[in-house]
Structure 1
């Protein structure tokens, strides 16, 4: 008989839905420097204006974006800049589809 064991790592988002840079990096299996790159290229925005990444705070919605960037890097071998471009294009496509749909136009 074969026993398969799975282990999971979880990052708890507090009741305010706020993550610090270190928590965000950990949840994505990355280093804080990677989060700094995402902020520098404009993919993520810290909620505070602090200059030190240790003082940055991120909305929990930033986690989804960061995980998507990490997945793109892992699965397709793209760099941070390319991942940011892909995510921006996906957002724009969703926005444009919503506009078209709100005008009553149905695309295939």
Structure 2
């Protein structure tokens, strides 16, 4: 008995942003989960609209959503905690970049 796996890919670009339903599918989640990501500030719709069906997201949003999903899965954190963790990780990367640019950062 053989099994087959179907893989669907979507190219992300500024001219083809990801719909909220596509983002949810890419993360193995439901649309309500994407709404929660927007509510806690993990991601932001690039096309502000009242209906989540009209929201569009870019590759960086997909990356943040996948990271939030990983934090939920691996550490059992809620989305509020995931938002805080992601903000802190972003700030640490930014500060390390500033230190490197100033020549103050050793192998950070």
- Shorter-chain TM-score: what band? 0.7 to 0.9
Cα distance change, pair 57–72 in 1 and its aligned pair in 2 (3 A): same
> How many pairs are equivalent?
106
Structure 2 counterparts to residues 38-53 of structure 1, below 5 A: 38-53=37-52
Contact 1:13 1:60 in 2 (8 A): no
Q: What corresponds to 1:77 in structure 2?
A: 76
In structure 2, C-alpha distance between the alignment counterparts of 1:96 and 1:105, rounded to whole Å: 11
Q: TM-score, normalised by structure 2?
A: 0.87
Unaligned regions of 5+ residues in structure 2, if any? none
Structure 2 counterparts to residues 86-105 of structure 1, below 5 A: 86-105=85-104
Question: What stretches of structure 1 move > 6 A for 4+ residues in a row?
Answer: none
Cα distance change, pair 81–11 in 1 and its aligned pair in 2 (3 A): farther
Q: What corresponds to 2:57 in structure 1?
A: 58
Q: TM-score, normalised by structure 1?
A: 0.87
